[in-house]
Structure formats: structure tokens, C-alpha cells
A and B are shown apart, each in its own frame.
Chain A
């Protein structure tokens, strides 16, 4: 299949993810829409094109490992796992409810497909380095994909992980930065200016690729390139829009951790289902 055709299929799938993100956060009346929606295209491409995973055998040894280092965006991962067949789609609406497997932040072992407990920012990427190192020690071929937030890059632990990954030459580790430019209290440029994320990772010894995190063809091409890089870990900086796909959530700080009311939910769903791909 041509890349363009595959991109159209994945765009439709991303739309499904976006619907479930808004749907489950609305059902829970709690959770993080903005950062889940910004990562929806990235996560769709990974779960439906790149990750070597098997819902029938979620613990198979040679599976690729996916780490959501920005754990608060777990609705996007839960949606991907459910649509990929790891658990029933109907369970998505139990998000954040008592006794639910869909915890407010991902918990390892609680739900098939969750490799690492995250939610405390900066924790996931360190574990991703460990997972990649393990593959190296076992001479295994699986890869580790980690998705980080740009606000998360404020945590010092991220840069401790970045140095370790370079030291061990972990070219089986690909970190994707969801660069939506917003964090809890405002724009990253105002909160703690990052300057150039690519330059920072390059200075830490990583190979860096940049892409439009909402252009599926660009995502497919860039992730394809990332797989070919050897000798160093790879950072993909994805330019994204927080709340992407729901007009009134886009680039709005307010939608970092807020649930839509009934009216907002209806509008969001209409936009996601009917809007341009």
C-alpha cells in the first residue's frame, strides 16, 4: 500500500482515538484532554503501524515497548490499546472510576499493554532507557518508544536519562517529544523557556528528527527514518497543537486537565466525527 493511502487509513483511526479520549474524559468528568489530543496522531501511528505488539499475547518477549512518559495523557494510550484489541472498548468509560483498570495515570501490570507506571513526570523516560538497555544486554531486537511532553523536559531526570542513553549507545530507543508548547500553567516559553529542543538533544548526543505531529504522512516518513538510525538514541521532536481536533480546546491552557460538560462534549464529538481529517 502506498504511504499516502496508509496515511488516510491512520487519519481515520486517529479520529476514533480522539473520539474515545473526549468520550472517556467526559464519562469520568476528570482527566486530561489537551495533551492526549495533541499526541493522538503520534500514538495512532505507533500502535497501528510501527509497534510490534500482539493483543492476544501482550507479554510476548520480543514485543516493542511503549512508554508514555507524559503519563497524564493516558487517555490516548488507553484508547489505542482498546482499539488495538488489548481490552474491550466499553471499558474505556471506566476511566478514573473506583476499581477501574484505567487509573488516572498508567499503572504497570494493571492493564495489558502498560509497560511502566508513569504520572510523575521524568520517571518514564528513565525506565525507557532501562528497557532499551535490557534489549541490548539480551541481544534482543525489540525497540523502545517513549512519548514525552515538552513541559516534562523541565524535570532534571529527563536529562539524566538522555545522558545515560547516549553513554550506552541505545539506538533501539526512540523518544518522541509532543511539542505542543503548553503546560499546566501556561505556554512553555513563559513557564520555563526550552529554547531549541532539537539543539538540546543533539548536545546530549542524540540523533534528532523533526516532524509535524499532525501530518500523518510526515509522521510515517519520519518514524521510518528513525528506525534506520544507528549508533545513538533518536529524539523525534513533533510539532503539535494541544487539544488538536477540538476547536475550542486547541492551544488553550484551560483544557490541560478539564473535563467537557454535556454541551462541550456534543460539540467536540461533532467536530471530531465531522471535521476535516
Chain B
């Protein structure tokens, strides 16, 4: 494990600049948040390929669709919450339904929004995006995967929602790592009969930390990282259910409609097993220190380990 702390939003901004020569058709549209989502780096390097659209997200998506229909590969980089909710109509009609290669950078995904509170924390975006046919959803774990997925997303023929977080997160992949679209990444093999932890995005580093805590107690849990939430790696999910028997899902998102929900939907039909979903319950976020709020909802290494421990002991989160 390499522990260097890097903010995925910064890794995204740097990756755009790095891959710009590779994709001459790539352009960036910004609804007045480039200094926040870090596309200001691209603006500085490629001003003629950068369009400042003002605080008008819905229009930015429509314009991007227009550019995409003429052969451009537009990235619209904005706060995740304002893409997934304010600009949803345009994303649904002009991007998802058409299948145009508009790339969405949902920056500030999940809780970390710099204490912005309910209006700025995006904990429903995965649910919203999952419901759109043809939308690929990428949730990189760290800066290495964010860089790789920025290239991967740009290369894909259709619409992509890439979710990048604001805060610094530990780097868990070495530089040679290359994610495969639609495939879960095994972070800890674990052993059959024990619990499997299925996580997305920045939660995967915490899932690994939880697994290491449990390993010291003799519990060998499998940890699967879902850098692609849609299409979901159903084989890996079903295999985890069959081989480990019990599953904990962990996400920087509401437990409604995100990774946990996707896992449960699949397992209910293909390989029913006991699942505990860790994420934000059916609530809006509030302001406060990110670490304190994550811990309040059990979304830290100790909380994840505790949930896995209870499940391994045959008890649910309520002790039932």
C-alpha cells in the first residue's frame, strides 16, 4: 500500500492536461467551478479548448451534447450535486438517451464538500445516474485510478459519469495499475466462509484498512473495489456471495440506489445472501468535519470492521 494523500479532484484536473494531446477532440465546459473542480489546470494549458459557461449547468450539458454530436468529446466538470439534480433533465434527454459521448465529472461527490451541508453534499448522484440507461458510472478509489479512469472515460464511445471527491485520500494503487471497465478489483482475497466487503470510491481504502484490522483477529475478509458501479460486475458480486456467504457494502453515498442497492438487486435474483449496507441512511447531510460525519455513520475503518465482525458472528447490524 502506498499511502500518499492526494485529492482525486486534483488528479482529474492533471489528467485532463496530460491526456489532452491524446484526444484532440476533447474540450472542457465549466459552470463557474473550475478553480474548485481543478479544470482550471486545463484552462491554463489549453485555453482555446476550454469553455466557461457561467452558473448555468443545464445549458452547459445541452451545449456539450451539441458539441458531442459534431464529433467533439466534451467534459462537463461541475459539483456532482448540481449535475445529478439541477441538470438531470438535460443529462437524461440530451446525453443518456442520445448516447452521445458527453463526459461528466461529478466533482465533490459524496459527503466531502468543504462543510457545505445539505445543498452541496451529493449523496444521491449514483442513484440518479444508475437509473439512466446507457450511463457508465466510474468511482475511482484514489488519484492513480482517477487518472486512469479519466483516460478510459474519454476513450469510451458513450456517456460517462466519473465521480471525483474533493478531499485528499490515500493512494492505494501503484502507478502501473490499470482498471478494467466493468470489473471489480480484488484488494484482499480473504478466505471462503468469511465476510466479503464490497466498496466504491474513497471507501475502498477504508475497507482495506478494516480488513487489515480484522485479519489481526483471524477474520480473513475479501475486499472488492468497484471502480465501475455501472455496469456492475455481477460475476464478482455473485461469486462473493457464494464463496463468502455474507456481504458488507460500503459507499460514500446514500444506501438508497447506490452500490449497496445494486448489489442487493443482483443478489436477490441470482445468489441471495445476507447483506449489510453501509452508507448514509435516508437523510440529508449537514455541515461539519468530514471525518466526524463519516464516523457517525460507521463509514471509517473501525465502523466497517465492526459491521463485518457482527455479520461474521451471524448477527445483523441491530444485533438481530
Contact = CB atoms under 8 A, between A and B. Distances in A.
A105 B33 contact: no
B191 interface: no
B119 A120 contact: yes
B63 to A, nearest CB: 12
B52 A103 contact: no
Nearest to A103: B117
Interface string B112-138: 011111111000000000000000000
B35 A107 contact: no
B142 interface: no
B120 A105 contact: yes
A104 B117 contact: yes
Interface string B261-305: 000000000000000000000000011110011000000000000
A155 B119 contact: no
B56 to A, nearest CB: 4
A190 interface: yes
A119 to B, nearest CB: 3
A119 B116 contact: yes
Given A103-B286, A155-B55, A191 B32 contact: yes
Interface string A210-221: 000000000000
Contacts of A257: 36, 114
Interface stretch (A85-93, A94-102, A262-270): A94-102
Contact of A192 (B33, B52, B115, B118): B52
Nearest to B30: A185
Contacts of A33: none
Given A30-B114, A154-B55, A104 B32 contact: no
Nearest to A194: B54
Chain B binding site: helix, strand, loop or mixed by DSSP?
Answer: loop
A107 B55 contact: no
Given A103-B286, A191-B52, A120 B86 contact: yes
Interface string A162-191: 000000000000000000000111100011
A185 B38 CA distance: 11
A117 B118 contact: yes
Nearest to A102: B287
Chain A binding site: helix, strand, loop or mixed by DSSP?
Answer: loop
A119 B120 contact: yes
B286 A99 contact: yes
A215 to B, nearest CB: 28
A114 interface: no
Contacts of A111: none
A98 B30 contact: no
Interface in B69-114: 81-82, 85-86, 113-114
Contact of A28 (B52, B86, B115, B120): B115
Contacts of A155: 55-56
A100 B287 CA distance: 8
A243 interface: no
Interface in A19-57: 28, 30-31
A28 B86 CA distance: 28
Interface string B49-61: 0001111101100
A156 B116 contact: no
A104 B120 contact: yes
22 contacts: A98-B286, A98-B287, A98-B292, A99-B286, A99-B288, A100-B287, A104-B119, A105-B118, A107-B118, A117-B119, A119-B120, A120-B119, A121-B55, A151-B55, A154-B54, A154-B56, A184-B33, A184-B55, A185-B34, A191-B32, A192-B53, A257-B36
Interface of B: 30-36, 40, 52-56, 58-59, 81-82, 85-86, 113-120, 286-289, 292-293
Given A184-B36, A186-B52, 14 more contacts: A97-B287, A98-B293, A99-B288, A103-B118, A104-B115, A104-B119, A118-B119, A119-B118, A120-B86, A122-B55, A151-B54, A154-B32, A185-B33, A192-B32
What 8 pairs between A and B have smallest CB-CB spacing?
A: A192-B54, A98-B288, A119-B119, A154-B54, A154-B55, A104-B117, A96-B115, A104-B287
